[in-house]
Amino acid sequence: MYLKNHRALVTGATSGIGRAIAIHLARAGADVIVHGRDGQRGAVVVAEILKAGGQARFVAADLADTGDIRRLIGEVGDLDILVNNAGFSIFGPTDKLDVERFDALFAANVRAPFLLVAGIAPGMAARGRGSIINIGSMSGTIGLGAAAAYGATKAAIAAMTRAWAAEYSASGVRINTVAPGPVTPTGKDPSDVITSLATTTAMKRAATADEIADVVTFLVSPGATYITGALIPVDGGRTAI
């Protein structure tokens, strides 16, 4: 229970990696704010955490809407942990990606985390403590032919993480990026893209959401107090080979 008396916001926590992170943080004692857009799915995650003896509540917000982001920041109040997980991916030829989807990709994957850190990190710095985890991707490091725009958003996340570490770490706020490789959706069959990417890793398999959540939980723990500005690949060795 090393996160007891810590308040955490996990964006995009109603499914997948975000859901696993919320559950793991609650298991470690954190009071978790589960963010998403679907109240029914959010209620399921909150109920699972409460049933296990943890603390959680759901807050809805559309992170494509800057006004909704400001409302979310005001509603959650002071935080000890922020996990910027919400976002989406688009895979396909560059010449087939229209400007509207390009802009939506950057709004969700880059602008929203930027605004959340801008609204939450100064309060952490004023209190002298805090941990922010940005969920990146191996595609931000390696070139994938069908992911130019998506990879650019994740490279931007890693760059912002380094800049934020330089900006806030002297005030006690640690900021790190966790960069997953292919991840099998919980309870679902993997897509053809995930199956194909899994074969390119050194371990020849996709990760589970829990394997990503384990790393996030470590990075916000007392065992990681000298880690900041880092990009931690959790990609089965894909960026190493």
What pTM does this model have?
Answer: 0.97
Yes or no: say if 119 and 69 are a contact pair by the CB < 8 Å rule.
yes
Taking Cα atoms as reference points, which of 227, 49, 217, 234 lies closest to residue 136? Answer: 234
pLDDT of residue 189: 83
User: Is domain 7-240 annotated with CATH 3.40.50.720?
Assistant: yes
Domain boundaries, the chain: 7-240
User: Which positions of the chain have pLDDT values less than 70?
Assistant: none
d(CA 234, CA 177): 10
pLDDT of residue 195: 93
150 is catalytic: yes
pLDDT of residue 188: 80
pLDDT of residue 193: 87
Phi, psi of 86 (to 5 degrees): -60, 145
pLDDT of residue 88: 96
- E strand spans, 173-218: 173-180, 183-184, 207-208
What's the distance, CA 108 to chain centroid? 12
d(CA 133, CA 80): 11
d(CA 79, CA 123): 8
Q: What is the pLDDT of residues 88-141, one digit of tens each?
A: 999 999 999 999 999 999 999 999 999 999 999 999 999 999 999 999 999 999
pLDDT of residue 187: 75
Q: Using alpha carbons only, give the angle 164, 73, 126 rounded to the nearest 5 degrees.
A: 50
Q: Which of 2, 150, 168, 226 is catalytic?
A: 150
